[in-house]
Amino acid sequence: MSKNTLRILFIYGNDEFALARRLKKVQQRVDKDGMNTTQLEARTMRKEELNTAVNAMPFLAERRLVFLEKPSGEYKGKNQRNDFIAFLESVPETTVLVLFEEMDEKKAAKNWLVKWAQGAKEIARAEAFMLPKAWQTADWVVRIQKEAKSQGGEIESQAAARLAEMTGTNTRQAAQEITKLLTYANFSRPITLADVELLSVNTAQGDIFELVDALGSGRGKDAQAMLHQLLDEQDAFSIFGMVVRQFRLLLLAREVIDNRGNVQAELKQHPFVAKKLTAQARHFSISTLESIYKRLLIMDEEAKTGKTALDLSLDMLVVELAGG
């Protein structure tokens, strides 16, 4: 083996599905049968357990595999962290040590172990698996297209955009939907928009778009029915977050339209989504959208202080907008 053989992987992010899949791939590549694998959690293990697992010789194989979950929070203070880094740098070439934990981008940017792994390129590699941001539709569409390719098929651009809208940021559900759609297409042709509309389950994020569309189109009864169905199925705070996101996008889109700009380019949306946003934003004036957005901020404050239940506030908002 070369002196600079990769010995340490730090796999992190907030995309639980992608993390699990990456860990499974590492297992299959390094120690498929699991005879030379040790699973440890930093919070509960003893220091001697990690040392023994890492330094043991592999049995009838070239390398051992050690998984260590949530390591960064267990080493506090400069001395403890320096000692752990020294340990990492002494990991033998006969072992692959996989560190992994869930964290969002904000935490990852400040995480001491991420910074170390990014800098120790001769022996370590940091791999981030973050959930797509709901407002960065174009990036999410690309990821859906890549997922379809990795499963051995293709998905058309508009179909990917619609699936992104339907699944929100649920990467596990998106992967499952792609498998179902590719099977329907018999892997012999690309997935089409018609396929997605026919077979895929619309999640709350997609329903929020339809709810707002009903409000803008003057279909008040439809909007109320959609909201009540959503409230029966999901937590009010989860629905509220998606409502805020949608009106934020509409407010931005309306500003772009009023300034004669390009919604797709300025908001970095997929053409399919940008077209729908543009059409929806035209149902509202900029002043109306600003008033709605301010109202949403007040609703948030009232819910957090216990003044008004969020489900009731949402119901009242829909009634008022439908009546207006």
CATH of residue 101's domain is: 3.40.50.300
Q: How far apart are CA 184 and CA 54, in angstroms?
A: 46
Q: Which domain holds residue 168?
A: 137-199
3, pLDDT greater than 50: no
CB contact at 8 A, 203 and 233 = no
Residues 122, 22 within the same domain: yes
Residues 319, 217 within the same domain: yes
Give the end of a domain, one of 168, 199, 230: 199
Is 2 domain-assigned?
no
- pLDDT confidence band for 166 (50 / 70 / 90): confident
Mean pLDDT computed over every residue of the chain: 86
Give the end of a domain, one of 199, 217, 243: 199
Total domain count, the chain: 3
CATH of residue 167: 1.10.8.60
For 68-72, what is the mean pLDDT? 94
Residues 182, 221 within the same domain: no
Residues 183, 284 within the same domain: no
Residues 12, 123 within the same domain: yes
Residues 161, 239 within the same domain: no
pLDDT of residue 134: 55
224, pLDDT greater than 80: yes
Name, of 125-134, 158-167, 260-269, 290-299, the range with top average pLDDT.
290-299
211, pLDDT greater than 50: yes
324, pLDDT greater than 90: no
SS3 120: coil
Question: 13 - beta bridge partners?
Answer: 102
2, pLDDT greater than 50: no
Is 1 domain-assigned?
no
For 124-138, what is the mean pLDDT? 77
Residues 187, 231 within the same domain: no
Residues 65, 109 within the same domain: yes
CATH of residue 295: 1.20.272.10
Is 3 domain-assigned?
no
Pairing of strands 95-102, 64-69: parallel
Residues 227, 311 within the same domain: yes
Q: Where are the extended beta strands (E) located within 14-83? A: 37-41, 64-69
pLDDT of residue 1: 39
CA distances from 73 to 40, 42, 66, 103, 304 (A): 14, 8, 18, 11, 30
Residues 212, 314 within the same domain: yes
pTM of this structure: 0.54
Residues 95, 163 within the same domain: no
Name, of 53-67, 169-183, 200-214, 225-239, the range with top average pLDDT.
53-67
* Sequence-separated (6 or more) residues with CB below 8 Å from residue 210: 202, 226
Is 88 domain-assigned?
yes
Is 164 domain-assigned?
yes
CB contact at 8 A, 59 and 35 = yes
pLDDT of residue 10: 96
Residue 187 backbone dihedrals phi, psi, to 5 degrees: 55, 20
For 292-300, what is the mean pLDDT? 90
Give the end of a domain, one of 107, 128, 149: 128
Residues 93, 68 within the same domain: yes
pLDDT of residue 133: 66
**Nearest by Cα to 203 from 170, 250, 236:** 170
pLDDT of residue 201: 58
* Sequence-separated (6 or more) residues with CB below 8 Å from residue 149: none
242, pLDDT greater than 70: yes
- pLDDT confidence band for 323 (50 / 70 / 90): low
